[in-house]
Amino acid sequence: MSDIDPTWGPGALAELSVAETGALLRAGTITSVELVEHALSLIEAHDPQLHSFVLVTRDRALQRAARADRELRDGIDRGPLHGIPYALKDILAAEGLPTTNHSRLTVADVAAEDSTVEARLRVGGAVLLGKLATYEFAFGGPSTDLPFPPARNPWHREHIPSGSSSGAGVAVAAGFVRVAFGSDTAGSLRGPAFHCGAVGLKPTYGSVSGYGATPLAPTMDHFGPLAWTVADAAAALQAVAGPDPRDARTHQAPAPDFLGSLTGDVRGLRVGYSKAWYASDPASLPEITEGIERALAHLDGLGAIVKECELPPYEVFDACGRVILMAEGFAVHEDNLRRSPRSFGRYTYQKLMPGAGVGASDLLRARDVRRRLSAALDRRVFAGHDVLITACGQTTAARFDDFGTDWPPPQLANDMQTIPFAVTGHPAMSLPLGFAGNGLPIGVQLVGRKFGEADLFRAGMALEAEFGRRDTRPVLPGDGGHAPRRRPGTVREPRDVRP
């Protein structure tokens, strides 16, 4: 490994991007087995206090890594993730492994076949390290009455990483993997990315198959990557996107070339924003509002065309999404809710049961409102703009001790602004913008026209280069002073946010 700068320290391999790692793998400078062994050592050393993984597949990972090394030596190239370690949110099936859903009800359920996401990653030569923590059935909360402990935010372990792709946010921020895959029904990829300082992409509805994933609300369920950088997210999406005859929700056109959009050139890109959604809300942390303003000013300075636009009221999106989510979530779990309600975690049960009171007429009206909201976004925003920039979350990650016995926690307001684009199906990406004064990450949300992920990657690359702080990692438990890890040549001093 002579081409790797020795000054990088013990986290060196974790700091290689997907593209950098791929180039070194293809050159024979490093091996996939070395990557996997390094990742496994990090997980073993640090994850017992972070709880991002519910299952580590050591032997399987090393076997797949050895196969990737043989193929790459023989000139077989399966794509951008060939030989790259990754992990799955534990609602995505992988043949022969449990799909526990973080629940007593399914803790011993072993998958008979791969989900489409896992099947495509396997075909693409990527290396599965294991299954990641989630909220129960991707819907509960940071519960302590489930088979596994809740994942903890690596920047401050007394804070939650958000959910429901909680393990994915922790594993990527901690440097265990560069990419992880999960679901987003109301913000479940974007929330953990926002609160853990990573990139979370909810692709356009139907871009990625949900076959083999445990459903929550099938007409709002999206599947995609959580990654350390925009380019890593693009490579991960490239590996899993595209039509699937086993999932009628998927778009029938082949996935475009996402990697070709990674230029960061935003000249002429039309960027919209609406202050009414975030600036006047007293719940919004001023640092987040200021971050959005800095992002808009930076894009304007790079040649983007930045103009304010008018959005439908946020409250209408929120109410519409909650009706659909409650109704569909209850329908998915109705049998178990009636037969064995005490098998659910308390938060999950309390969040699912209100769906019993949503009538057919309520659901039909909500779906009609969704259709009109989606059309309004296309007409008011994306007819004249390529990207919308708005808040992703309003505050930094909550503390575990803010949560009581029952849901919802009385002292916590809903601090995420992610549900609107799960309702309409537009692609949306959470992008980190640095840290608040308390040392916890903050970020921004980028939204595009349907199947307009390429524009999100363009704008995201430009903002990440200026604000992303991709050179800084959290101090991990037991790090002995090695972290935050910082790549050589960077000028920013890392912030010490030791838990």
Confidence at residue 497, expressed as pLDDT on a 0 to 100 scale: 31
Q: Characterise 478 by phi-psi region: left (phi > 0), alpha (psi -120 to 50), beta (else).
A: left
Measured CA to CA, the distance from residue 296 to residue 291 in angstroms comes to 9
75 φ/ψ sector (left φ>0, alpha ψ -120 to 50, else beta): left
Asked if residues 80 and 213 have their Cβ atoms less than 8 Å apart, the reply is no
Distance CA 243, CA 257 (A): 14
Residue type, 309: C
Evaluated on CA atoms 410, 343, 358, 203, the torsion sign reads positive
Query: Rounded distance, CA 2 to CA 75, Å?
Result: 22
- CA-based nearest residue to 464, from 267, 271, 178, 197: 197
From 52, 162, 188, 430, the catalytic residue: 188
Is 274 labeled as catalytic in the residue annotation?
A: no
202 catalytic per annotation: no
Cis peptide before 408 (omega within 30 of 0): yes
Residue type, 204: T
Catalytic residue among 32, 52, 89, 166: 89
Per-position DSSP letters for 329-380, written without gaps between them: HHHHHHHHHHH-GGGS-HHHHHHHGGGGG--HHHHHHHHHHHHHHHHHHHHH
Residue 89 designated active-site: yes
The one-digit pLDDT tens for each residue of the chain (499 residues) are: 334 443 334 457 888 999 999 999 999 999 999 999 999 999 999 999 999 999 999 999 999 999 999 999 999 999 999 999 999 999 999 999 999 999 999 999 999 999 999 999 999 999 999 999 999 999 999 999 999 999 999 999 999 999 999 999 999 999 999 999 999 999 999 999 999 999 999 999 999 999 999 999 999 999 999 999 999 999 999 999 999 999 999 999 999 999 998 998 999 999 999 999 998 788 889 999 999 999 999 999 999 999 999 999 999 999 999 999 999 999 999 999 999 999 999 999 999 999 999 999 999 999 999 999 999 999 999 999 999 999 999 999 999 999 999 998 876 656 899 999 999 999 999 999 999 999 999 999 999 999 999 999 999 999 999 998 898 999 998 775 444 445 433 323 323 332 2
Strands, E, within 85-217: which ranges?
85-89, 127-132, 179-184, 199-202
Contact 190, 196 (CB under 8 A): no
**Catalytic site residue from 32, 162, 164, 430:** 164
Q: What is the DSSP string of 285-301?
A: -HHHHHHHHHHHHHHHH
Q: What 3-state DSSP class applies to 388?
A: strand
Q: Where are the domains of the chain?
A: 21-467
Q: List, in order, residues 6 or more apart from 14 with CB less than 8 Å away.
A: 38, 39, 42, 175, 176, 178, 473, 485
Token pair 């490239």: residue = 238
- d(C-alpha 191, C-alpha 197), whole Å: 10
- pLDDT tens by residue, 413-464: 568 999 999 999 999 999 999 999 999 999 999 999 999 999 999 999 999 9
From first CA to last CA, the distance across the chain in angstroms is: 33
Phi/psi zone of residue 326: left (φ > 0), alpha (ψ -120 to 50 degrees), beta? alpha
Alpha-carbon distance 283 to 281, whole Å?
5
CB atoms within 10 A of CB 114: 21
Our measurement of the distance from residue 477's CA atom to the centroid of its chain's CA atoms, rounded to an integer in Å, reads 23
Query: Fold for domain 21-467?
Result: Amidase signature (AS) enzymes (3.90.1300)
